Structure 1
Amino acid sequence: MRKIIILVSVLLLGVALMSYLYFSKLGIENDAKDLALQSATNNAALLFSFQNDKGFYEIIEGQNLLQQAIGKEKTDLLKQLKESFVNNKTINSLILDQEIYLSLLPDSNKTLNFLITIQVKPNQTALNFQNQLKPFLTPIAQEKNIYSAKVNDSLNIFVGVQHQVLTLSTSLKLIKDAGIRLKENPFTAYIKESRLQNKNVLAQLYINYNQAPLLLKNIISENINGELAVFNAQNSFATLNYNFSKEKILFNGNTEIKAADNYLKLFENIPVQNIEIQNVLPDQTANYTIYAYDNYQSWQKKLMSWQAQKKLTDKTTSLIKHIRSEYRTDLNAIFSVYLKNQFVTFQLNTGEKLTAISLSNGEKVKQLLFDVSEDYSDEIKHFKSSDILFSYLGEPMKNFVRPYYTIIDNYLIAANNASTIQSFLSRYRNNKLLIQEPEYLDAMNQLSSTSNIGYYINLKRSNNIFRSQMRPQYYKHLQADSGLKTFDTFYYQMSADQSKFLTNMLLNKYLKPQVPDSSSNR
């Protein structure tokens, strides 16, 4: 009996040892496969991924919209790199059918630059890989594993060669920053998990919002504040699949919010809503953000939890008590009862900012707010106390501290200047609305009519806003015929799907219908 126990123990020990060795080796092989991804994701906010095969290039060359989006200069650079490296038989034999990562990164002198990262085929040893590349590379003095390569008479690039990973860029800084790190970063881990769920797609765009501030600081000429302040602490990621089209640039996939105290978490795990509040927006609207939930009373519980996490509960409670004592008005009996299911913050082409809030009974709310408001005119009122809207709707209302407001057709419209409200009322009553614009309707037809969150930018009406915020080289690209000038709409749409948001990202250009030439019918 003792011999049998010893024999079984030895066999079990042997199996455990073999399993350990097998899975350890498998883990090392998987780590090796991910070295390129780890290198590509270092400090990257945007990562475009595609497979190095002939079919991909043929499809992309059939559409010039992506080329317009990144600009002529960067497009020409990528074409030259493809012709010199990808089309080279020796180099292409090392990277055929391999994943290519194109990272957009902040570079020196307030510029942005590309880093291309490729893992060579697994049947190539590191030594053989490097030996085959030697004829094309010139070592750079005092730089380990970094070389220069001549693309043409006017262009030299830097090349990093390390652990069967190839990195290319016109920036030496980016090559050095992309050195192999064996420790996985959160962005790498997120992409690896996403890739298991997304197969057989033409290309993918990964977004790391944690790195967005570094990117934005090189694009905008002022501090990241106002509407952009959300990017200062946006712990979230997105995986978006590219949908080929000759008419528009469309990606769809999902956005995942990691931070528990992120305001957008309040819209997770709730039904998508039919969006209607855009119907009230004037035709001057340059951008907006729409928020929608199913029922205010249940959503308010989430808001109160968020306020507790942000240590805002005492401030809100104190405000409600003060107004009840000072003005004999119970705010809970107004907003908790009559707020409907969606609201929007928006900015006009003049730069003025407003908000519109959907109400179930506008006339009743108008009466109940009488004591907590003072008259500016018969239609326009002014809150006597600060942060009323912030207390009941949270972060998007922080810029409307003590606004002027009006209530019309079951919408509360607020702004920081009475003249802005007057201008709004004039356009609204004269039916000068965003929903009547052909460009807007065309873009909305490409998207779902139901969602929870929507970010909209009218690129043409935002022209003056961009001019005041962006660095000259990026504003120039926005205005170039070969750049973004011919596009009119950007939209980022999020629809709750359990712990993630199904996401559509659209860059659209409206093509006016062709009017038949009447002379041809004669």
Structure 2
Amino acid sequence: MRNTIIITILLFVAVIGASIYYFSDLNKEKTEPVKPLTFLPKETFLITAFRNDATTDNIFKDFEIFEAIMGKEQFEQMQSFKNKLLRHSAIQPHVAEAEMYVSFHPEDGKQQALFTIPTVQRIKKEQLQSLLESLDKSFPVTLQDTLQQQIFRFDYGSKDSSLYVAYHRDIFFAAYSKNLLLKTIDDKAPKIDKKSIQYFAENNSRNSPLSVYFVHNQVPEIAKLLMRKKYGKVISLFDSLGGQSAWNLNFKNDALILSGESQTEHRDNYIELFGHQTKTTQSLHPYFPANTASYLSFSLSDKAQFHKNLWSLLEKREELKQIQAQLTEIKNSKNLSYDTDFLPLFSNEFAVVEQTNQTELAFITLKDSATFLNQAEKFATRIADSIYRFDHSNLLYALYGDPLKSFTRPYFTQVNNILIVANSQNLIQQYQRDWNRTNLLVGSLGFKNAERIQGNEANVTYFVRTQAAANIIANTLKTDFSQTFRDKENFGYQDFYGWSMQISGNDGNFLSSIYGIYKSKHALGTTPEWTYEFTNRPITQPWVFEHSDTSQFILIQEQDHTIHGIHPSGHRMWSTVFSGRVVGQIQQLKDRSIILVTDRNRLYRFDTNGKPLSGFSVGLPAEPSFSPTIATIDNEELIFIPAGQRLLAYTMDGESAENWVNKNLDGKILFDIKVLDNKVFVGTENGHFYQFSSRGELLKEENIAGRFKNPIHVAANEVIHTVDTANNLLSIPFGGQPSKRQLIDGSNKALTSFGQINSHQQPQLIILDEKRLAVFGLTDSTEMFAFTFTQDVDDRPQFFRDSQGTSLMGVASRTNNLIYIFDERGGVYDGFPIEAMPLFYYGKIDYNSADYLLCVRRDKKLYAFKK
């Protein structure tokens, strides 16, 4: 797939014109003529169309993508021309609401832009010079007479700053190249084909801020302009299609999205084989390795039709006879029929992945993995454990055509129902290591965002990751273009995570879309409102508490055990070293005092300025194992502390509660202690469940066979719910018959929690089993929603409320440092996942604030991102 990155550059070029004026019109009819396009030279790479309507300027004012593509200097220059010339009161009446075009053309190894602006009011020749000279005096205007055509030159002093303007057939044409301008107004010069112009007119949506037109025949010329040497596999699939595409812009501030239709000339081209397919789900990308630089993925809705058309294409290429002779030889020698034995083994998807080292892997879906292995010995030889090699060449080319032609006699292995193919055994072995380590493309944050935007419904998808393919791109481009690509100061190409193109069959033509996934400065998790730097690594999540009647504040602990009180603006309020690390959750009482316990056997109660209350801190007789529970028992507020096998209780003055001394239990206490209706409930890891009275008397005890490592929940009817290590949900009524229901057939590593994530009265049961999240209703055990992560999750979920009071659930994946927020329907909140450590908070950070994400990254800072 080497030298395929020209597609990316083509996408970059596609939107440069839109950044110049920011115009659109939402009300005009589709039938408006496109006469100005008839003047454009035949060598037109790309055309952008938009409308001169100042009311839509605000739509794009924060659209960073345009500046990233165009470059800061040229962007500012074009903005100046727009404001001082095009919006000048003298010229405005003639061009207001006019359909405008910016097109791109080759000239002397560079590309030149041409601006085409038809006037809505004709300007008389004798008025033209005085009108143009009346514009902003910071642009000196000089008149030249060339080929009996008046050419006006606008200058503003810097090198290469002259803009040449001609008024021809009631249209303003402007360019930085005088030669391009003269070619445009020369009626004898070859022009764009009328058929293409008509197609553009029919597919120009006035409901889009920007339309893009592209003539397919220009693909080889664009490649010649931009690339050092002959292009490779991807472009060769498209370079002889013929026809044209028309795309319209869908606005999104962190992505460029162009969608529309493509018409081809039905030549003998491989891509044409997909014109009569219909889009289907593409499911191979979860198998691609993490070092994927780009990939081509194909899916078929009608496999039989595809193979019929493919073999017809091979026949026209005069390659079919050779392939058929080879297949006949295989049938005679191996008793393997291509039609009845080999072809049915394979399913409807295949893909080619280019890795960062420019090696390739192919992926093919199988109908049935067991059947494939049974047949494999007829056409392949086992090389090593689970690795085979085809005995004959070109079998994959006969199956799927051009993308797999380079895999002549490859090696392969099998993962689930997927065949992984490579031209060397080492590549197969390296892939096996990547798969076993879950070192995959889908584990990256950028790809998750790209997948969310582009979707997986298509017949052909081409995707390139900018950073992973950066060296390939830079080495492929000619020097000037390579320097532009690497220029992070003036351009923003490195801020695009990736580019993709998707096409789907449409009755012989195509529906097509282009996506550029941008790392927007305004996207959640990109530009913080503030950061707070620590000396050591933070070791707890941030908590938000009330500080006074008018403000709240943030608490967090770092590795040297210092707890910091932080203002919602990010400023330090106070910091105090505590003895030991906070165990479990920090909690706030009604009087705003704060209570916590540490692993150095200490109980703390302090005010919002970090000052300890009288009687605190308190030394504990055992190390706390989870958060304290603060509850009112017989009108007395007590602090219950789980400490391994001991249940501790203290008064609000820090004294040991008289009735709760020496409460030793059989087994380590499971998480926190529950209090309901003046009764105390405790569960232990070896299946002992206790109910105590308000005076510390043991009322009831249930012993359940099995091991337990998850929290308990006490329902209103005093029934304890918990999950054992065999993933059984147990409901334990004291004195009654316990019930057992297995909710998942998972591993003994599953983590469960009880949390309120919707409006139901009962909390929900959340199970995290390695990569899978499942949420169940507690009473009926109905699965409410599920989600599969790309890496194992080792932390229980957190629960938050946003500024609207909506219940949310947060989940962190330590393996790839991604955090997720889920709403009550199981949807991932917009903007997530975000790259951060699993120490975070989501919600308000002050009484009237917006929602914030507070999170920690590897640089010893607390980040505050405003939603």
**Is the pair's TM-score, using the shorter chain for normalization, greater than 0.5?**
yes
CA distance in 1, matches of 2:130, 2:268: 51
Residue identity over aligned pairs, in percent, reads: 18
Farther off after superposition, 310-319 or 276-285: 310-319
Q: Per the alignment, in what secondary structure is the counterpart of residue 102 of structure 2?
A: strand
State the Cα distance separating 1:199 from its structure 2 match: 2.7
Quote the residue 1:275 is aligned against.
Answer: 282
Q: Distance in 1 between matches of 2:150 and 2:385?
A: 72
2:423 aligned to 405, 412, 416, which one? 416
Aligned counterpart in structure 2 of residue 149 of structure 1, from 136, 142, 153: 153
**Structure 2 Cα separation of the partners of residues 132 and 363 of structure 1:** 82
Residue 707 of structure 2: aligned partner: none
Q: Deviations over 1:409-466 (max 9, x none)?
A: 2222222222222211110121111112111111111123322111111111001211
Instruction: Determine if contact 1:35/1:180 at 8 Å carries over to the other structure.
Output: no
- Tell me if the contact between 1:129 and 1:164 (Cα under 8 Å) persists in the aligned partners: no
In structure 1, the partner of 2:496 is: 487
The more displaced of 474-483 and 334-343 is 474-483
Amino acid at match of 2:171: V
Instruction: Please give the per-residue CA displacement for 1:231-279, whole angstroms capped at 9, x wherever unaligned.
Output: 4313142221112222222222222233242322222233321221111
Q: CA deviation at 1:125?
A: 5.6
| Structure 2, unaligned runs of 5 or more | 1-30, 135-140, 533-541, 544-552, 556-867
The amino acid of 1:456's aligned partner reads: F
Asked if residue 120 in structure 1 is aligned to residue 119 in structure 2, the reply is: yes
Higher RCO (Cα < 8 Å, 6 or more apart)? 1
Which moved further from structure 2: 43-52 or 310-319? 310-319
Distance of aligned partners of 1:59 and 1:247 in 2 relative to their CA distance in 1, 3 Å threshold: same
In 1, the alpha carbon distance for the partners of 2:36 and 2:295 equals: 38
Residue 229 (structure 2) aligned to one of 222, 233, 251: 222
Matching residue within 208, 214, 218 for 1:207? 214
Shift of 1:508: 1.0
**What is the TM-score when the length of structure 2 is the normalising length?**
0.53
Paired with 1:362 and 1:295, the residues of 2 have a C-alpha distance of 21
1:485 aligned counterpart, secondary structure: helix
**Compared CA separation, residues 47 and 259, structure 1 to 2 (3 A):** same
**For residues 223 and 134 of structure 1, do their structure 2 counterparts lie closer, same or farther at Cα, with a shift above 3 Å needed?**
same
TM-score, reference length from structure 1: 0.86
Deviates more, 1:139-148 or 1:263-272: 139-148
Please state if 1:254 is matched with 2:261. yes
SS in 1 for 2:433: helix
Secondary structure class of the residue paired with 1:504: strand
> Is the 2:336–2:378 contact (alpha carbons within 8 Å) kept by the matching residues of 1?
yes
CA distance in 1, matches of 2:186, 2:33: 12
Match of 1:138 in 2: 142
- Look up the match of 2:65: 65
Can you list the C-alpha shifts for 1:466-495, whole angstroms capped at 9, x where unaligned?
A: 122112332333333332111102121223
Q: How does 1:180-329 map to 2 (within 5 A)?
A: 181=187, 185=193, 186-195=195-204, 198-329=205-336
Q: 1:88 corresponds to which letter in structure 2?
A: H
C-alpha distance in structure 2 between counterparts of 1:420 and 1:304, whole Å: 30
CA shift for structure 1 position 291: 0.8
Does the Cα contact within 8 Å between 2:33 and 2:201 map onto a contact in 1?
no
Whether the aligned pair in 1 keeps the contact of 2:154 and 2:164 (CA below 8 Å) is: no
Q: What is aligned with 1:507?
A: 516
Which one of the candidate residues 177, 181, 185 is aligned to 1:175?
181
Contact kept? 1:39, 1:117, Cα under 8 Å: no
How much does 1:84 deviate? Answer: 4.2
1:521 aligns with 2:554: yes
Unpaired runs of 5+ residues, structure 1, are 1-30
**Number of matched pairs:** 489
State the Cα distance separating 1:96 from its structure 2 match.
1.6
Could you tell which deviates more after superposition, 416-425 or 258-267? 258-267
Matches within 5 A, 1:318-357: 318-357=325-364
| C-alpha RMSD over aligned residues | 2.8
SS at match of 1:213: helix
Query: Deviations along 1:292-351, whole A, 9 cap, x unmatched?
Result: 112422332222233334333323322212322344432333442121111111101111
3-state SS, counterpart of residue 178 of structure 1? helix
Residues 40 and 192 of structure 2 are in contact (CA less than 8 Å); yes or no, is this contact kept in structure 1?
no
Instruction: Please list the CA deviations of residues 83-130 of structure 1 after superposition, one character each: whole Å capped at 9, or x if unmatched.
Output: 34312332332222111111122221x222211112222x41663674
1:100 pairs with 2:107: no
Residue from 443, 446, 468 that aligns with 1:436: 443
The SS at the match of 1:62 is coil
Aligned CA distance change for structure 1 residues 111 and 292 (closer, same or farther; 3 Å)? same
Q: CA deviation at 1:144?
A: 4.4
What amino acid is aligned across from residue 124 of structure 1 in structure 2?
R
Q: Partners of 1:213 and 1:72 in 2: how far apart?
A: 29
Structure 2 equivalent of residue 16 of structure 1: none
